[in-house]
Structure 1
Amino acid sequence: MSTSMIIVVVVAVLVVAALIAFGLRTQRRRRLRERFGPEYDRAVEDSPNRTKAERDLLARERRHDKLDIRPLSDSAREHYRQQWSLIQERFVDRPDDAIGEADRVLTRLMADRGYPTEGYEQQVNDLSVEHARTLEHYRRARETLRGNEKTRADTEALRKAMVHYRTVFDDLLAEREGSK
């Protein structure tokens, strides 16, 4: 084989390899966007580059796959619904106490579903794999809760926090197809 033929073959192999790598990267990116939704965009925005953000999201998936996430029994689901109703009733007279209790009940619900609850950032990362579409609600509710601990939030801000908590609560309470 001539030198020019070898160069043509090597270049062709490199082009094919580059196209395959590009296709795989594009496919991975599309899958991550579908899985993480708005959390994908947030991770990319918060990261120095897209590749690092995608590696972080893949690491979240790997960690999540090792967790024992489980559905709730019907009785546990009903128990949580009753607790939530009581929290909403308390909100009328004691809104600050109610959002604190909403946060505690949501944390217990996470734990009962099998999510570790050792720290807020890890909670967010773990929830992002299956609950990315409601995760921003959790962030906003927690932000209001923390802000209320420093300076009392007005009732409207507390009401919005309860709505945010309720969105995440409903999402965590729901049965999922394909849940472990």
Structure 2
Amino acid sequence: MSGAMTTVVIIIVVVAAVVVIALALLPRMRSRKLRERFGPEYDRTLEQADSRREAERELTERQKRHSQLQLRELSEDEKRRYTMQWAHVQEQFIDDPARALDNADRLLTLAMADRGYPTESYDQQVADLSVEHARPLAEYRRAHEIAGRAGRGEVSTEDMRAAIVDYRHLFADLVGINGAEHSARTENTARDRHATTEK
């Protein structure tokens, strides 16, 4: 075999080896990207699926659907309006926790609609939110479940208090304000409301 032929064979072998390695690493890289994107939602979907491939296919489909949504950020005026409405929900919790939870859930749905998310189905809401708001999603599920049982008088006040906090985490993430900013805005809104009432 000539030297040129030997070189060609070596190149082919090297290229083939690189392709094989790349193909072997591809699923691992895809898994890592999905895990980074979805966080705890990745593990939850994996637990419920029959296989990793099925779970990752579902998450990939969520990404595709999400990319087709016409989403937008809320304006500062809209953020202020939602902050005021949230402050009202928190005040309502003192007298009627179950109703406050129901209103918190409705307020989140309204905020989703204003952002451009479809809101016809709770399961679809969760799937759509998981793409960009995966971190507080477990809390949202827990709060939604407690709110449903609260309407039937099946949960304690402490459970409902935990649920309103869980709702608040997703609310702040969805509306586009961080936790500290949301707390400050809510406190200022409540203070302004009390000052107006006292006049």
Interval containing the TM-score (normalised by the shorter chain): 0.7 to 0.9
Counterparts of residues 1-180 of structure 1 (less than 5 Å) = 16-174=18-176
1:71–1:175: 8 Å Cα contact kept in structure 2?
no
Once the two structures are superposed, residues 114-171 of structure 1 have per-residue CA deviations (whole angstroms, 9 ceiling, x without a partner) of 1111111100000000000110011000110112233332111110110000010011
Which deviates further from its counterpart, 15-24 or 68-77? Answer: 15-24
The residue that corresponds to 2:184 in the other structure is none
* Distance across 1 between alignment mates of 2:24 and 2:94: 56
4+ runs of 1 displaced by more than 6 Å?
8-14
1:18 CA displacement: 3.2
Query: What code does the residue aligned with 1:18 have?
Result: V
CA distance in 2, matches of 1:139, 1:11: 52
Task: Report the Cα distance in structure 2 between the residues aligned to 1:103 and 1:97, rounded to whole angstroms.
Answer: 10
Unaligned runs of 5+ in 1: none
Q: Specify the structure having the higher radius of gyration (Cα).
A: 2
Contact 1:109 1:172 in 2 (8 A): yes
The structure-2 alpha-carbon separation of the partners of 1:33 and 1:72, relative to structure 1 and needing over 3 Å to count, comes to: same
> Which consecutive residues of structure 2, in runs of 5 or more, have no partner in the other structure?
179-199
What CA RMSD, in Å, does the superposition of the two structures yield over aligned residues? 2.2
Show the counterpart of 2:194: none
- TM-score using structure 1 length: 0.88
1:151 is paired with a residue whose SS is coil
Identity of aligned residues (%): 48
Q: Normalized against structure 2, the TM-score is what?
A: 0.80
